[in-house]
Amino acid sequence: MRQPLAGIRVLDLGTRIAAPFCAGILGEQGAEVIKIEDPGRGDPTRINGPFATDDEGNHHSLYWSVEGRGRQSVTINLRDPQGQDLFRRLASVCDVVCENFRPGTLERWNIDPSRLDPRLVTARISLYGQDGPKSLHNGFDHNAVAFAGLTHLTGHADQSPARPGLPVSDYLTAVFAAQAVTSLLYERDAKGTGTGGVIDAYLYGSVLRIMEWTIAAYDRLGSVRQRTGNRSDRAAPLDNYRSRDGRYVCIVAVRQPVFERLCEAMGRPDLSTDERFGSSGARGRNRDEVNQTVADWTAGLDAATIEARCLSHGVPVGIVHDVADVAADDHVRARGDLCSVDDPVIGPVRQQAPFPRFGTE
């Protein structure tokens, strides 16, 4: 694999997800990553399930096997002056620090960026940012997605808001932060400024940045966007439709040419000239009817048949996969999206491969 960040050394000062994942991205692109853990306890992710057992019957976190990979670990007591001095010396021979403590913690420990080499790039990840009236509030991904408005948009209109299935803000913030780290490294090294900088990456901010037109519509139209489940409140057909064999198939046919092809696949070419469905606007106004029509069709066929018919007519489609489907999928296998990582405790563990890839890797 190409390693464009080879020669860069990263200190992973984080815990759980966001900062360690940021460091991990840099590591997968060639950087050396050194993780600093609390003596005696280590990173809390080490005790997060699910667990596998080693040869001696001890539990080992599979969460840690995935998110702790690709780095060396040392323990330093950062609450102790000797540990703080050790950290400063270690940081002096590094390029990047990734941390996600509550704002003010590094300052209290005398290891904040103002006390470190100005060449360092420091990614500071927190819930609400390094300043502002909520900056010292503690919390997690659940709080971030709720605060940024994503929880309000997730779920069905007639049910309570739902959280996304994964800690989206942790991983998303880590990706934004890793990109910003590489930008400051480029400025420092390629442009020759010789100085790094501080990145203020906060969980709710990454979610806010991907909220599409939600803020603009509120600003100019006064509209408050609402959750619509798997459907859209302005376009159809679009949903995860249940099949005869109890699976779900995602079909997206909102553009007029695609809808016409779906009608052919369904054996219902008449639908494309029905005045209720004959244009994108008409289908948006009659979205419940057109979605129900598609649902009635899928209910009479197995998922594989639905997928095959849609694909043969050029309709965007995909069976909703669980992890077993993903692991067995021939496309995933052909692309090398999963890899085996040799965990030093429990041996080879199949998991997600580094992403993205460079060129034809």
Question: Residue 219 falls within a domain, yes or no?
Answer: no
Is residue 353 a part of any domain in this protein? no
Residues 6+ apart with CB under 8 A from 55: none
The answer on 263 and 130 residing in a single domain is no
Q: Are residues 43 and 178 in the same domain?
A: yes
- Residue 72 domain-assigned (yes or no): yes
Q: Do 167 and 28 share a domain, yes or no? A: yes
Give the domain range for residue 108.
9-209
Residues 38, 121: one domain?
yes
Q: What is the pLDDT of residues 121-176, one digit of tens each?
A: 999 999 999 999 999 999 999 999 999 999 999 999 999 999 999 999 999 999 99
Instruction: Let me know if residue 246 belongs to a domain.
Output: yes
Same domain, 33 and 115: yes
38 backbone dihedrals φ, ψ, rounded to 5°: -75, 130
Say if residue 59 is in the same domain as residue 144: yes
Could you say which of 189, 209, 229 is where a domain stops? 209
Same domain, 48 and 113: yes
Residue 173 lies in a domain: yes
Q: Which residue in the block uniquely carries the two structure tokens 């459907």?
A: 231
The answer to whether 103 and 131 have CB atoms below 8 angstroms apart is yes
Do 143 and 261 lie in a common domain? no
Q: Which of 192, 209, 226 is the last residue of a domain?
A: 209
Q: Which of 170, 302, 322, 343 is catalytic?
A: 170
Residue 143 lies in a domain: yes
How many domains does the structure of the chain reveal?
A: 2
Whether the model pTM is above 0.85? yes
337 among known catalytic residues:
no
- Domain membership of residue 351 (yes or no) is no
- List, as one string, the DSSP characters of 163-219: --SS-HHHHHHHHHHHHHHHHHHHHHHTS-----EEEEEEHHHHHHHT-TTHHHHHH
- In three-state secondary structure terms, 125 is strand
Do β-strands 96-99 and 59-61 pair in parallel, antiparallel, or remain unpaired?
unpaired
pLDDT (tens digit per residue) in 240-270 = 999 999 999 999 999 999 999 999 999 999 9
Provide the CATH number for the domain around residue 258: 3.30.1540.10
- Inside any domain, residue 217: no
Assign 74 to helix, strand or coil.
Answer: strand
Is pLDDT above 90 for 233? no
Mean pLDDT of the chain: 96
Same-domain check for residues 191 and 257:
no
Q: Would you say residue 327 has pLDDT above 90?
A: yes
Same domain, 178 and 269: no
CATH number, position 115: 3.40.50.10540
Q: Looking at the structure, tell me whether residues 174 and 285 fall in a common domain.
A: no
- 3-state helix/strand/coil string of 208-240: HHCCCCHHHHHHHHCCCCCCCCCCCCCCCCEEE
175 and 116 housed in the same domain: yes
Q: What is the pLDDT of residues 169-227, one digit of tens each?
A: 999 999 999 999 999 999 999 999 999 999 999 999 999 999 999 999 999 999 999 99
